């Protein structure tokens, strides 16, 4: 077993014992053990990046991993324990962001399908092209893009605020019920009560 200091989440450091067993990298620290199948983890990250169009540089900087080392590891399925631990952290970060982005895409599909706003209104609110919005409405987009997500999130929040402003004037009970909800819960409950 080798004892190493793995640097991640600047400026924190973690000291770990690690060793390799077949395709597994075993990490032990503070009484915890992590068994990481590094080939599976690398493949999970590759698959996720095919579905989610982002700039990976941000995530590399979070774990203090160079671009060249990252590409070398992903291309050659390198079994370096430090690099693969960082790749696992990158995967977890991107997966969390992917779920957040995916939920806004699904919410947009829901908003457009239930005709809460027209395609033209949504186009104005989001500054997206009509073609993109029709693709979202028909669920033809297979790849999630972070830049599109930001526009969807902004448009969906505006729609929510407009609905709340109207309810505050017309139905204060429904307003009080819906106002504290998250945006996803808001639209699910709003549609149930219409």
Separation of alpha carbons 16 and 83, rounded Å: 13
Query: How big is the chain, counted in residues?
Result: 194
Report pLDDT for 23.
Answer: 81
The predicted-structure confidence for 31-82, as pLDDT tens digits, reads as follows 889 899 999 999 999 999 999 988 899 999 988 899 999 999 999 888 888 8
Pick the residue with more confidence: 29 or 86? 86
Separation of alpha carbons 85 and 37, rounded Å: 10
Question: Which residues lie below 8 Å from residue 27, measured CB to CB, with a gap of 6+?
Answer: 16, 17, 18, 33, 34, 36, 81, 85
- For residue 21, the SS3 value is strand
pTM for this prediction: 0.81
Using a 10 angstrom Cβ sphere, with 0-12 exposed, 13-18 middle and 19 or more buried, the burial of residue 79 is middle
Which 3-state string (H, E, C) describes 31-63? CEEEEEEHHHHHHHHHHHHHHEECCCHHHHHHC
Q: Is the pLDDT of residue 5 over 70?
A: no
- Average pLDDT value for the chain: 87
Phi, psi of 127 (to 5 degrees): 60, 25
Q: Is the pLDDT of residue 112 over 80?
A: yes
Q: How many C-beta atoms lie closer than 10 Å to residue 20's C-beta?
A: 12
Least confident segment among 29-33, 58-62, 133-137, 174-178: 29-33
Q: Is the pLDDT of residue 181 over 80?
A: yes
The predicted-structure confidence for 136-157, as pLDDT tens digits, reads as follows 888 876 789 898 999 999 999 9
Separation of alpha carbons 101 and 95, rounded Å: 10
**Scanning the structure block, which residue is given the tokens 């806004």?**
104
């Amino acid at each position: 077993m080798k004892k190493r200091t793995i640097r991640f989440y600047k400026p924190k450091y973690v000291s770990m014992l690690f060793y390799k067993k077949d395709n597994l990298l075993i990490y032990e620290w503070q009484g915890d053990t992590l068994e990481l199948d590094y080939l599976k983890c690398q493949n999970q990250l590759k698959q996720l990046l095919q579905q989610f169009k982002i700039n990976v540089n941000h995530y590399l900087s979070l774990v203090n991993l160079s671009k060249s080392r990252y590409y070398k590891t992903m291309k050659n399925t390198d079994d370096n324990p430090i690099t693969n631990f960082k790749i696992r952290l990158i995967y977890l970060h991107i997966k969390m962001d992917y779920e957040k982005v995916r939920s806004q895409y699904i919410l947009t599909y829901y908003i457009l399908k239930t005709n809460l706003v027209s395609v033209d209104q949504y186009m104005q609110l989001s500054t997206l092209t009509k073609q993109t919005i029709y693709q979202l409405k028909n669920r033809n987009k297979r790849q999630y893009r972070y830049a599109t997500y930001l526009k969807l999130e902004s448009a969906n929040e505006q729609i929510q605020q407009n609905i709340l402003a109207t309810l505050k004037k017309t139905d204060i009970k429904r307003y009080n019920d819906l106002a504290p909800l998250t945006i996803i819960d808001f639209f699910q409950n709003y549609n149930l009560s219409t």
